[in-house]
């Protein structure tokens, strides 16, 4: 009789907690993905959704899919997305001007209708408690073994077709991303010849550019090198830093040199006058 109230309280299992904690995260992540203006933010939201989904798989007795979801989706596919984003341009925010008038509103309305149809249809259709995967998982000694038994037995032809699909996709990606070279590749000797030709025609120095930094003061890349006459060597700093305005002020670099030179000459001047006296 004492244990009865404890039995009546519905026990919150790990799966329930995971579901109610992660379902809002997933929906918010999905909404953030379609609402974010920058594609990188969309990708990060999608990553959150996918990792939460992996946890849901774990709660649904699918440890193999849990690992595959994280490795394949979050690890490989999403990184591929991010790579292409970096390639195509990270900071392109798309314009909010609608090409078809009222398209966004209509799309959201259609989505709402479709979603409610789906949710209510399913809410009415599903009956009966879940059978659970305990038996199916233990049949072959584990979840991975059970999936392997299915893949290499009942679904072996689908699995073989998958391998053909993957090879086709790899070849297709290579063909699509391949670019024909229109001009002959310039070799080392060609480049050396070009450098010397430029030296003969315009007098441009054929060797490497001067390195940045002032000896015993700064060796950072934003410090321009000083020439023997105290002026600044423009070639020693990267053009990108110059365009950003991140180059150190040259007057501050030249000043200590000038001060030292002045101090030395001042010290020398009185000595010569003493000698004369």
Partner 1 sequence: MTTTSYIVLSAILFTIGTVGFMIRRNAIVAFMCVELMLNATNLALVAFSKMHGALDGQVAAFFVMVVAAAEVVVGLAIIVTIFRTRRSASVDNANLLKF
Q: Which of residues 100-119 bind partner 1 (CB under 8 A)?
A: 103-104, 107-108, 110-112, 114-115, 118-119
Least CB distance to partner 1 at residue 140 (A)? 9
Does residue 13 touch partner 1 according to CB under 8 A? yes
CA 176 to CA 172: how far, in whole Å? Answer: 6
DSSP string for residues in 162-206: HHHHHHHHHHHHHHHH-----SPPP-HHHHHHHHHHHHHHH----
Report the site for partner 1 in 117-136 (rule: CB under 8 A). 118-119, 122-123, 126, 128-133, 135-136
Instruction: For 116, list phi and psi in degrees, rounded to 5.
Output: -70, -40
- State the binding string over 46-65 for partner 1 (x if CB under 8 A, else -): x--xx--x--xx-xxxx-xx
Structural tokens at position 63: 């440890």
Residue number with CB closer to partner 1 (69 or 236): 69
Count of CB atoms situated within 10 Å of the CB of 155: 13
Residue choice 146, 221, 241, 254 for contact with partner 1 (CB under 8 A): 146
Report the site for partner 1 in 81-100 (rule: CB under 8 A). 81, 84-85, 87-89, 92, 94, 99
Residue choice 21, 138, 156, 169 for contact with partner 1 (CB under 8 A): 169
Report the site for partner 1 in 205-234 (rule: CB under 8 A). none
Contacts 24+ apart (CB under 8 A), 207-216: 209/235, 209/236, 210/235, 210/236, 211/236, 212/236, 212/237, 214/253
According to DSSP, the residues that pair with 232 across neighbouring strands are 226
Residue 136, CA atoms < 13 Å, CB-side half-sphere? 13
Residue number with CB closer to partner 1 (42 or 223): 42
Does residue 246 touch partner 1 according to CB under 8 A? no
According to DSSP, the residues that pair with 214 across neighbouring strands are 218
Residue choice 21, 138, 141, 165 for contact with partner 1 (CB under 8 A): 165
Does residue 6 touch partner 1 according to CB under 8 A? no
Residue choice 156, 166, 200, 246 for contact with partner 1 (CB under 8 A): 166
Does residue 70 touch partner 1 according to CB under 8 A? no
Residue number with CB closer to partner 1 (106 or 264): 106
Query: C-alpha distances in angstroms, 199 versus 189, 194, 196?
Result: 15, 9, 5
């Amino acid at each position: 009789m004492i244990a009865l109230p404890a039995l009546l309280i519905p026990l919150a299992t790990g799966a329930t907690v995971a579901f109610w904690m992660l379902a809002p995260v997933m929906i918010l992540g999905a909404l953030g993905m379609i609402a974010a203006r920058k594609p990188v933010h969309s990708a990060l939201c999608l990553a959150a959704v996918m990792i939460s989904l992996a946890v849901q798989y774990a709660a649904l007795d699918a440890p193999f899919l849990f690992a595959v979801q994280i490795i394949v989706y979050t690890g490989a596919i999403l990184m591929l997305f991010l790579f292409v984003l970096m390639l195509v341009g990270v900071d392109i925010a798309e314009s909010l001007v609608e090409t078809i008038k009222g398209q966004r509103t209509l799309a959201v309305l259609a989505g709402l209708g479709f979603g409610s149809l789906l949710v209510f249809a399913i809410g009415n259709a599903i009956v009966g408690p879940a059978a659970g995967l305990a038996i199916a998982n233990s049949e072959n000694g584990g979840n991975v073994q059970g999936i392997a038994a299915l893949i290499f037995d009942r679904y072996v032809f689908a699995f073989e077709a998958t391998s053909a699909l993957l090879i086709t996709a790899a070849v297709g990606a290579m063909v699509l991303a391949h670019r024909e070279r229109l001009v002959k590749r310039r070799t080392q000797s060609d480049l050396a010849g070009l450098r010397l030709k430029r030296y003969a025609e315009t007098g441009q120095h054929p060797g490497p550019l001067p390195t940045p930094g002032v000896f015993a003061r700064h060796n950072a890349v934003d410090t321009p090198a000083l020439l023997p006459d105290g002026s600044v060597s423009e070639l020693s700093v990267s053009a990108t830093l110059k365009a950003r305005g991140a180059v150190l002020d040259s007057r501050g670099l030249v000043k200590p040199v000038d001060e030292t030179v002045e101090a030395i000459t001042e010290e020398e001047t009185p000595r010569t006058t003493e000698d004369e006296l």
